[in-house]
Structure 1
């Protein structure tokens, strides 16, 4: 069974007709949509300036690179899709980079991926794909640290690294945490390298920029991973 969440925003008011039962429906009094649209306008202006800049000026000809960061279930992927769809309606074809291995907006979970967006994103059909760049990671989180309290991980790290704890189970858990994070970093850097080479060799693509959707792990090592 599939469940869909739809959000409808209008500047002028609208009448919505719903067929069938819904789990919940409501009209919100406060919306961040004005801020989102203002952000879209700024990004549109930067793309226009980048496209008009001399191709040999790598600084001014670089379009906006937007990274959407926040905790789990904070609508990061929704904002990413809106910014991309609005850009497409203005005639741009930005790159969408999905680093959220727990959800998988472009392909399937456990992967990081990137693809140019050439059509508005359908809320049901999802992102139209031709040849996405995909790296399979194999887990829905980079580390067990995502599941345990950050304070306890620091105690585990101190026990193994600083106090020389030789307990094999303790060491195995610690190494598993660290190695999974390192693999994630390697894949993200590889993906970033491919995109950078694309931008270097394609002036038009560089001017369009990209929107990056991240995972919900934003504390401790998760914060460091975002800042790669």
Structure 2
């Protein structure tokens, strides 16, 4: 039994079923239907009720408790403030940063959808990759509430492949993808007044003291951010207030949920595996992916190299050190690529390396078998058919298919 304005928080490493038996309740701002079973596996969730509810849970939990100290009323008030801007056609563009940003972004997005809006939901967090999986950057037109069981939008995203799980690995590439994505999205907004009015909800990358503020400024400028919400970090809030030089950008301090905790390395690896599995198989194996066999000679595999700075000692006398901006190198297929996640670039055939690096992608594949003797590889692909474009991108991410 949950009292009004309380939250039931639980954590589970196994399968678990949740049923709302009475009252009203929601997860991430998505309302639960009465007597409908919701199935979860390996999750950390919170169920909130405004008016009181009765829940039935089947399965084992590691942690479960009820809390009446919750930031949900504050999130709702923030939603109302954004909705007021939408009504005035001021196109709110909010950037969420800090611990709990993924949860807060889903809540704000779902509340907007429930008001009949279709905001752009943009995930720039390559470390967590909550909308697809780590190493990717994605944008959705959110016209339906986020799926409760999957915890991510169900629509097809505009997706870009970064290929790493840390923005410091290749800052230039990360910033160029941000700029390219923003350009594409604003062209879409200019053609759709309702979409422009609904605005943007943007998930910032994981904060890093070494590169965080530089990236933050870049995102604010590229996406013309109007509101920055800093969750659960007073020091970060104070620093952003001092350094923010963008007029018209409102910086807010927002509490994080008491149920939000930092994820350890083991949990992140498990979550990444679940996310990639969900991409290919959906929840409860609803999808049936295909195996595609490709000859080495028929594919052009590219890898975007990490940042490289030529040492001064290696330069001719009097020469200036130049940072090699973005280098795309050919990769010879080999057994080292086994279990690698690949991206199918939407880029047309070109000599422009940067165009290949920052192009959006059609989708993702996984190398399941390498046969050096026969010079061919087997890929797990989400749909049947030939590859429509020539370039395949590879990063540093691996996943083993246990199906």
Scaled to the shorter chain, the TM-score interval is 0.7 to 0.9
1:48-103: CA deviation from partner (whole Å, max 9, x where unpaired): 111xxxxxxxxxxx410010001xxx221111111111111110000000000112
Moved more, 207-216 or 7-16: 7-16
- Contact in 1 for aligned 2:92/2:200 (Cα 8 Å): yes
Q: 1:117 aligns with which of 124, 142, 156?
A: 142
Match of 1:195 among 174, 185, 200: 185
Superposed displacement of residue 223, structure 1: 1.9
Give runs of aligned pairs for residues 13-28 of structure 1, distance below 5 A.
Answer: 13-28=52-67
Residues 43-82 of structure 1 mapped to structure 2, 5 A cutoff: 43-50=82-89, 62-70=90-98, 74-82=99-107
Per-residue CA deviation, residues 18-71 of structure 1 (Å, 9 max, x unaligned), is: 112100001123111111000011111111111xxxxxxxxxxx410010001x
SS in 2 for 1:6: strand
User: Which runs of 5 or more structure 2 residues have no equivalent in the other structure?
Assistant: 1-13, 15-40, 219-403
| Cα distance in 1 between the residues matched to 2:68 and 2:213 | 32
Please give the TM-score of this superposition, normalised by the length of structure 2.
0.43
Report which of the two structures shows the higher radius of gyration computed on alpha carbons. Answer: 2
- 1:127 to 2:166 alignment: no
Q: Which structure has the higher relative contact order (CA within 8 Å, separation 6+)?
A: 1
Residues in 1 aligned to 2:149 and 2:172: alpha-carbon distance in whole angstroms: 34
| Superposition RMSD in Å | 1.5
Give the number of the structure whose residues are more often strand, by fraction: 2
Structure 2 residue aligned with 1:35, among 70, 74, 87? 74
- Greater Cα offset, 134-143 or 104-113: 104-113
**Structure 1 runs of 4+ off > 4 angstroms?**
none
Q: Contact (CA 8 Å) 2:97, 2:207: kept in 1 or not?
A: no
- How far did residue 220 of structure 1 move? 2.9
CA displacement 1:2-22 (0-9 Å, x = unmatched): 411221111222222211210
Aligned counterparts of 1:106 and 1:11: Cα–Cα separation in 2: 27
1:84 touches 1:211 (CA, 8 Å); kept in 2? yes
1:208 to 190, 193, 198: 198
Q: Which runs of 5+ in 1 are unaligned?
A: 51-61, 144-176
Q: How many residues align?
A: 178
| Pairs within 5 Å for 1:131-210 | 132-143=157-168, 177=169, 180-210=170-200
Distance 1:206 1:15 in 2: 39
